Amino acid sequence: MDSFSPLYYLQNPIWVFDADNKKILWANDKSLDLWEMTSIEELLDRDFSQEISAAAVATLLEYQQTFKSHQPIKTWWRFTPKQITKNMLCLFSGIPLTDGRTAMLIEVIADESSLRRDLTFSDCSNLALLFSGDGLFISANDAFSSNYGNHLIDLSEFIGDITLSQQWLEDAKKNNHFKCNRLCWTGQRHHWFDIEAKWLSDHSQLLLQLVNITKDKEKLNKEKYNAEHDFLTGLMNRRGISTALKASHHHLSHYSLLFLNLDGFKLINDSYGHAAGDKLLRAVAIRLLNLVKDKGLVARFRGDEFIIQIEKRNYITITHFTDQIIKTLSRPFHIKDIGELSISCSIGTANYPEDANNVDTLVTQADIAMHRAKQRGRNCYYPFLQEMADDLYRKVTLRHHLSQALENHDFELYYQPIIDLTNQQLKGFEALIRWNDESLGQVSPAEFIPLAEETGQIVPLGLWVLHKACHQLAIWTQRYSQPFIISINVSRAQLQPNLAHTIKQIIRQYNVNPSQLALEITESTMLQDYCETKPCLDALAAMGIELYLDDFGTGYSSLSQLHELPISTVKLNQSFVQGEHTSSKVIIEATKAICDKLNLKIVAEGVETQTQLDYINQCGFDYCQGYFFSRPMPVNELEKKYFQAPVMRKLVQLL
């Protein structure tokens, strides 16, 4: 064996194995300890045919097929010389013999003591099972037998399915090999294996080469569980219930999806801390689970929101079931170290498949319905109705278009005259924003202003109005030399400490007299966060800007606070001016009396008839506005009607 002599000097155990004759043809001295031999001659004389399993032989034959493509094989191999088990990481390579056959060059790279971090891999790889063409168990290699024993009878027992075992044999015969992973029975317990099946056509046998992936599977299952469950409550989370419902939709009967939100939970968190809030959420989860039991699914969606899925056959009516939930959660919760806490909930419902046939849409619909329950007073349930989705779609569409309109300044200011009843002349105009969208058409301020306030877009929108109105005021003042006032509506979100400074800069920019500018603010806006808004209002008044209290009578004015506010004028809401009941007249007269006592001017809004105007005059109102005089108009129309002569005409001439 002189042809192998250069290999002799390698420091790792290395030998050449004749797989056909089950003999070692050559080995270096380093191999003796591994094989528990005292001499090379003793090792070369050893007959391995009596101790090597059929599964191991089949595996080695498969290795030889790989060598034909000049590819080495790195794997763990189990040796048992003199009944001593050794795990070695080996490199198998093909090496040509003088007679034209191919032998195996086997080099030991490392053993279990020098490569402990790979030991777990060595215990679960290089496993082999051999089955007959009929699926009967023939043999297992030493690695498999040492770990799992020799208890198998046939392939169907191993994979746990007679039909599948026949399919495996047919697929292997047809395609020569295939790969898969499966939970299998080893004869003692189940394990997950990564399986490579090869059909040995020469012997009509099926060779399975296995890697135990149980630990990886368990880790993945644990990770999957954690990913789909809420750590705090143990309930499924948003992803978990969505996955569960999507996976089982084709099996499910009609069901209801409930979206539940706790009322006032933030107050508990703020008052007692998040630890108390967490305890309450866990207690809520337990009650919901006890109520639903095996009738459906319960999940924590996010924060203090929960989702319940329940098949319709498991409840009498949805009203009855939601009443049960509301009553269950209305009972006091005893929280350790806190005492008893009470809470209520609002619930929205949607139905599968009547409302939607996919989970995500159902969740959205039930969420929309839950918010309607909040609006209806809380501690109740509300079913999803299609018009809710239409309203939401309209709202989302408006929000998007509103953002674009802000960027492009696609708004216009209309102006409605305010008439001075003492001299029948124009006092000025109220600036009113209008929006005509290319695709949506004319959008009412009653629709887009609340949306702008909700989204915070009201601040840049309000700033645009201030610039536009002051610019127009500057043009009219210069052109017509008349000292009338333009009033502008201001939102609560705009009443920030820097508002006075911002308006001062705008006034300077357009060279406008502050006394010609009025800001209209609703009473609810003025009195909300009164201590915060008053400094801002005082600063505006100190600049000489008039402040109007808008929509008077519709809010919750405190007369003591009203007296302290730096307002000059009160605008009585049109609902009283247009009201035909005696109570409306009482409110009109009472408002006038209050304003007289507080030395405030008063404007009647919404005057539409001569009768209304006569009554307002009779009550001694200072100003009025309404359709009886003029609708809000764009600048060009307004100028044609009111600015045809250099001097302002009297009201009697204009009507």
The pLDDT value given to residue 619:
93
**Do the beta carbons of residue 516 and residue 545 sit within 8 Å?**
no
Q: Which of 154-158, 307-311, 345-349, 550-554 shows the lowest per-residue confidence on average (mean pLDDT)?
A: 550-554
**C-alpha distances in Å from residue 589, one per residue of 325, 523, 618:** 51, 19, 10
DSSP state of 573: -
Q: How far apart are CA 257 and CA 277, in angstroms?
A: 25
Residue with tokens 């168990």: 137
Condensed to tens digits (0 to 9), the pLDDT of residues 512-523 reads: 999 999 999 887
Condensed to tens digits (0 to 9), the pLDDT of residues 295-306 reads: 899 999 999 999
Amino acid at 20: D
Contacts 24+ apart (CB under 8 A), 443-446: 443/398
Q: How far apart are CA 299 and CA 245, in angstroms?
A: 12
Percent of the chain past pLDDT 90, that is, above it, reads 50
Q: Is 569 helix (H, G, I), strand (E, B) or coil?
A: strand
Residue with tokens 């409840």: 315
Task: Assign 3-class secondary structure to 336-383.
Answer: CCCEEECCEEEEEEEEECCCCCCHHHHHHHHHHHHHHHHHCCCCCEEE
Q: What are φ and ψ of residue 487, in 5° steps?
A: -105, 145
Question: Is the model's pLDDT at 558 over the cut of 60?
Answer: no
Condensed to tens digits (0 to 9), the pLDDT of residues 121-162 reads: 444 567 889 999 999 998 888 888 888 888 898 999 999 888
- Residue 152's closest CA among 178, 120, 189, 182? 189
Amino acid at 354: E
Residue with tokens 């498991």: 314
Q: How far apart are CA 384 and CA 362, in angstroms?
A: 9
* For range 489-501, the mean pLDDT: 91
Question: Is the model's pLDDT at 73 over the cut of 50?
Answer: yes
Question: Is the model's pLDDT at 652 over the cut of 60?
Answer: no
Condensed to tens digits (0 to 9), the pLDDT of residues 16-62 reads: 999 888 999 999 988 998 898 989 899 998 888 888 888 888 888 88
Q: Is 76 helix (H, G, I), strand (E, B) or coil?
A: strand
Q: How far apart are CA 198 and CA 204, in angstroms?
A: 11
Question: Is the model's pLDDT at 555 over the cut of 70?
Answer: no
**Do the beta carbons of residue 120 and residue 25 sit within 8 Å?**
no
Instruction: Tell me how crowded residue 231 is: count the other CB atoms within 10 A of its CB.
Output: 8
The pLDDT value given to residue 262:
96
Question: Is the model's pLDDT at 258 over the cut of 90?
Answer: yes
The pLDDT value given to residue 615:
92
Q: How far apart are CA 159 and CA 185, in angstroms?
A: 6
Condensed to tens digits (0 to 9), the pLDDT of residues 403-460 reads: 999 999 899 999 999 999 988 888 999 999 999 998 899 999 999 999 999 888 999 9
The pLDDT value given to residue 648:
45
Q: How far apart are CA 219 and CA 64, in angstroms?
A: 35
The pLDDT value given to residue 245:
87
What is the Cβ-side half-sphere exposure of residue 518, based on CA atoms within 13 angstroms? 23
**Do the beta carbons of residue 573 and residue 554 sit within 8 Å?**
yes
The pLDDT value given to residue 114:
55
Condensed to tens digits (0 to 9), the pLDDT of residues 357-376 reads: 889 999 999 999 999 999 89
Q: Which of 233-247, 498-512, 518-532 shows the lowest per-residue confidence on average (mean pLDDT)?
A: 518-532
Task: Work out the end-to-end distance of the chain between its first and last CA atoms, rounded to an integer number of angstroms.
Answer: 125
Q: Is 46 helix (H, G, I), strand (E, B) or coil?
A: coil
Burial state string for 491-508 with b = 16 or more CB within 10 A and e = fewer than 16? bbbbbeeebbeebeebbe
State the average pLDDT for the chain: 87
The pLDDT value given to residue 587:
87
pTM of this structure: 0.57
Q: How far apart are CA 287 and CA 111, in angstroms?
A: 56
Task: Assign 3-class secondary structure to 97-132.
Answer: CCCCCEEEEEEEEEECCCCHHHHHHHHHCCEEEEEE
One DSSP character per residue, 476-538 reads: HHHHH----EEEEE--GGG--TTHHHHHHHHHHHHT--GGGEEEEEEHHHHHTTHHHHHHHHH
Q: Write out the H or E segment, with its range, that includes residue 183.
A: strand 177-185
